[in-house]
Amino acid sequence: MLALSSTPQLGPFEQQLLQEVWSRGTATVRELIDLGNIHQAYTTVMTTMDRLYKKGLLDRETEGRAFRYSARFTPEELQRGAALDGIRQLLGSSEASSLPLSYLVEALSEHDAELLDELQVLIERKRRELKDAERAQPNAKPREQR
């Protein structure tokens, strides 16, 4: 899986174009316009695709006088990056890290109480992984407990 350092903010048109590229696998600007789902000028689509490329969301290869674009990340990878960014921002928003965690627990319980059970399973799994990693590297500095 590729690493996404920071998830860029996307406007509605950028989201639409990215969705079209995901559904096709690869596309040129002309192909996107010819599909009939995009009702913008060629230059608008070209500029927006270039912006998505510069934001690190698309790869591109020269094809004749045009570029063929492909997504650098799957929708799931992009969603994961956005979720991690939001959680990191939440955790960094308070001196006491337990306060934002309590907000997360509250939101989970309001949305679906069963998610709390799933969260507990994930926490226990992560704790086992961390313990196994510490055992595998006995000279490593122990993690600070909170």
Q: Is the pLDDT of residue 141 over 70?
A: no
Task: List pLDDT tens digits, range 40-61.
Answer: 999 999 999 999 999 999 999 9
Tell me the CA end-to-end span of the chain in Å, nearest whole number: 30
Alpha-carbon gap, residue 70 to 25, rounded angstroms: 6
Tokens found for residue 17: 């174009």
DSSP three-state, residue 142: coil
Q: How far is CA 76 from the centre of its chain?
A: 7
DSSP annotation of 59: E
Residue 1's pLDDT band (cuts 50, 70, 90): very low
- Taken in order 27, 29, 31, 36, the sign of the CA dihedral is positive
- C-alpha angle with apex 121: 117 to 126, nearest 5 degrees? 145
Report d(CA 68, CA 143) in Å as an integer.
46
User: Residues, the chain, total?
Assistant: 146
Report how far residue 4's alpha carbon sits from residue 8's, in angstroms, rounded to the nearest whole number. Answer: 10
Q: Mean of the per-residue pLDDT values for the chain?
A: 86
Prediction pTM value:
0.66
Give me the pLDDT at residue 4, please.
Answer: 56
Percentage of the chain modeled with pLDDT above 90: 50
